[in-house]
Amino acid sequence: MTSILSVCFTGRLASLANGALAFLAFVCLAVTSIIVTIVQKKATDVINQHGNDIGVYAYRGRKFLILTWVSTAAMLVSFIAWVVLVFKGRKDKTSRRDLEKSGPRVSGDTVVAEEDRRRSHRI
């Protein structure tokens, strides 16, 4: 949802919204992975305890656990990336207001050079 909005809106606010949702998704995936891990262990133990009498055995599968924990790790990486973007900010520090004050950017070499010179003095 926020990825669609980030196409239209850039900057720290959009990165912050994406980071917040990535954190929420990370927490939900972590809780789900913990629950799945605990339930799988308990169910395997109970089935093996009571099923030995009739010849039923249960083995814990690792593929589903790997899938849930890898997705949790991937969401953590996504959250960290959004946090970095929030603190990094924009590459171009020129605001829209500064661009409006300086006037339209003409494709002539002297106008572009003069605008770049003025911008470098402000930094």
Residue extents of the structural domains in the chain: 2-90, 92-123
92-97 — which CB contacts under 8 Å span 24+ positions? Answer: 93/123, 94/119
**Is pLDDT of 119 > 70?**
no
Q: In the chain, what percentage of residues exceed pLDDT 70?
A: 64
Beta carbons of 69 and 34 less than 8 angstroms apart? no
Lowest mean pLDDT among 9-23, 40-54, 72-86: 9-23
**Is pLDDT of 34 > 80?**
yes
Separation CA 11–CA 85 (nearest Å) = 9
Mean pLDDT for the stretch of residues 43-52:
88
Beta carbons of 27 and 77 less than 8 angstroms apart? no
What's the distance, Cα to Cα, between the start and end of the chain in Å? 36
| pLDDT, position 7 | 62
Confidence of residue 77 (pLDDT cuts 50, 70, 90): very high
Structure tokens at 78: 């996504």
Structure tokens at 97: 């207001």
Q: CA 1 → CA 10, 11, 19, 65, 74, distances in Å?
A: 14, 17, 12, 27, 18
pTM of the model: 0.64
Regarding predicted confidence, which is higher, 95 or 29? Answer: 29
| pLDDT, position 16 | 85
Confidence of residue 53 (pLDDT cuts 50, 70, 90): confident
